[in-house]
Structure 1
Amino acid sequence: MEQQKTRMSMDQIPFDKLEKVGINRDLIQKMEKQEMTDFLNGFRSDKLYTVNAKINGEDYRIPAKIRLQSNEDGSVGIKVHPIQRLNIPDEYMGHKFSKEEKGALLNDKNLGKTVELTGRDGKKDNYYLSIDSKTNEMIPLRSSYIQIPEKIKGATLSAEQKENLAAGKKVTVEGMTGKDEKRFSAALQIDAASRRIGFSDFKQEKQGQSETAKQEKSEGKRQGAKQSVS
């Protein structure tokens, strides 16, 4: 099986630096495949790890996410992301937040749209923004990173649903199928923190419910067309 390419390799993981922050080598080696792939790509860990920290001169063990950081000299370091107090700044990466945007980030943990931000290289691009639910960090994600699929959990997305998802909006999708083969509906939205399409507001559908809804919608369109002709 061909190994998935990543920004960094297993050989580059600085286990000595990990152990200095209090993370045992075994914890890293036991990462699941997707978690390891994300880790080697420099993304924040999905899990919280207990790390060493010095606060006001005292030694503590605190929960934090970790990630690999590639340095300019070619070395690889460890970046620690501890839990912090949720705070929405007035300005972030060159964008000044409106009152409504701050409210969306505080209440929904998601901006709900794409916004133009300025990267470290000075280049502007469209980003999604959301709050990491475990650390309260604000996480940007380039909109080009996410590709909206034709189907999600067996449900075919309409052109409007795909457009709204790509725009960062929350979209309700019906007729999806879970691992237990049961149909369900849910609200979908791109989550910059997890770099994936997130699911919320799950509702189990009765058997045949989604098909009936589609038939009624189709029948309504046909009747409307007949009335307009007559």
Structure 2
Amino acid sequence: MEQYTRMNKEEIPFDKLEKVGINRDFVTHMESNELRDFLNGFRSEKLYTVNATVDNQEYKIPAKIRLQKQEDGSVNVRIHPIQRLFIPDEYMGHSFTKGEKAALLGERNLGKTIELTGRDGKKDTYYLGVDNKTNELIPLRTKHIQVPDRIKGVALSEEQKQKLAAGGKVTLEGMTGRNGKKFGATLQVDAANRNISFSGFKQEKEQALEQKQEKSKGLKPKAG
């Protein structure tokens, strides 16, 4: 069943994309989830080489692209080039604390939800992260993330679900990978990629070995 999107393929302004140097067949190389997000106005997952003019000089630069629907129904192309990572003092009506700036600079994830003001002047609850490819701040409304009851075969407790939904980190053991092997990892909502990310992977064999080593360290030598 085809999912509803804000725009459809027929509305993609291929003429505008070609002007910035992107061939119209790029859509055929998108995964279904990536295409769905692209048609919903989110940034592309990949970087594309686009034309740019700086001081009357023509350059080709890597950038993400996204579609933006105008009030008159037309669709424009927005370019998001790689930029220097910078966290402003204020963003979408929110004044950052030193701790929040440090989290965004160091973890590239705020680690919690905050209230931000959208372009329409309405306030909403958001996750906030940094795009790993362009270094842009990426806000994501919390309604776009649904924390599941189970992840990779492991049931989440209510406490774990609430912590994830609030933007925090949760360590989960005993998950099953595509290769059928058990592993553990730290989970957190990733605003930039609009999903729940995994980090700090550990295979169960590694965990068992570490536990065995810790146990052996704790054994006292027998008296002779």
**TM-score, normalisation: structure 2:** 0.90
The alpha carbon displacement at 1:30 in A equals 2.3
Separation in structure 1 between the aligned mates of residue 148 and residue 34 of structure 2, nearest angstrom: 22
Consecutive unaligned residues in structure 2, runs of 5 or more: 209-224
Separation in structure 2 between the aligned mates of residue 159 and residue 28 of structure 1, nearest angstrom: 40
1:96 paired with 2:95, answer yes
Aligned pairs for 1:148-159 (under 5 A) are 148-159=147-158
* Structure 2 counterpart of 1:46: 45
CA RMSD of aligned residues (A): 1.5
1:16 paired with 2:15, answer yes
* Structure 2 counterpart of 1:144: 143
* Structure 2 counterpart of 1:126: 125
Separation in structure 1 between the aligned mates of residue 207 and residue 31 of structure 2, nearest angstrom: 37
Separation in structure 2 between the aligned mates of residue 10 and residue 70 of structure 1, nearest angstrom: 13
1:153–1:178 contact (8 Å) kept in structure 2: yes
Task: Classify the secondary structure of the residue corresponding to 1:206.
Answer: helix
Separation in structure 1 between the aligned mates of residue 120 and residue 48 of structure 2, nearest angstrom: 31
Letter aligned with residue 189 of structure 2: I
Percent of residue pairs bearing the same amino acid type: 66
| Runs of 4+, deviation exceeding 6 Å | none
1:176 paired with 2:149, answer no
Separation in structure 2 between the aligned mates of residue 69 and residue 47 of structure 1, nearest angstrom: 17
Separation in structure 2 between the aligned mates of residue 160 and residue 106 of structure 1, nearest angstrom: 27
How many residue pairs align between the two structures? Answer: 209
Separation in structure 2 between the aligned mates of residue 207 and residue 48 of structure 1, nearest angstrom: 35
Separation in structure 1 between the aligned mates of residue 205 and residue 189 of structure 2, nearest angstrom: 27
Separation in structure 1 between the aligned mates of residue 206 and residue 134 of structure 2, nearest angstrom: 39
The alpha carbon displacement at 1:145 in A equals 1.5
* Structure 2 counterpart of 1:163: 162
Deviations 1:184-214 (A, max 9, x none): 00000001111100111001113996xxxxx
Aligned pairs for 1:59-138 (under 5 A) are 59-138=58-137
Task: Classify the secondary structure of the residue corresponding to 1:126.
Answer: strand
Q: 1:185 to 1:117 in 2, by over 3 A?
A: same
Deviations 1:43-97 (A, max 9, x none): 1000000000011211000000001110111100101100000000000011000
Separation in structure 1 between the aligned mates of residue 71 and residue 88 of structure 2, nearest angstrom: 29
**TM-score, normalisation: structure 1:** 0.88
Letter aligned with residue 145 of structure 1: H
1:34 paired with 2:33, answer yes
1:183–1:207 contact (8 Å) kept in structure 2: no
Consecutive unaligned residues in structure 1, runs of 5 or more: 210-230
Aligned pairs for 1:195-210 (under 5 A) are 195-206=194-205
Separation in structure 1 between the aligned mates of residue 55 and residue 185 of structure 2, nearest angstrom: 45
Q: 1:208 to 1:137 in 2, by over 3 A?
A: closer
* Structure 1 counterpart of 2:55: 56
The alpha carbon displacement at 1:29 in A equals 2.5
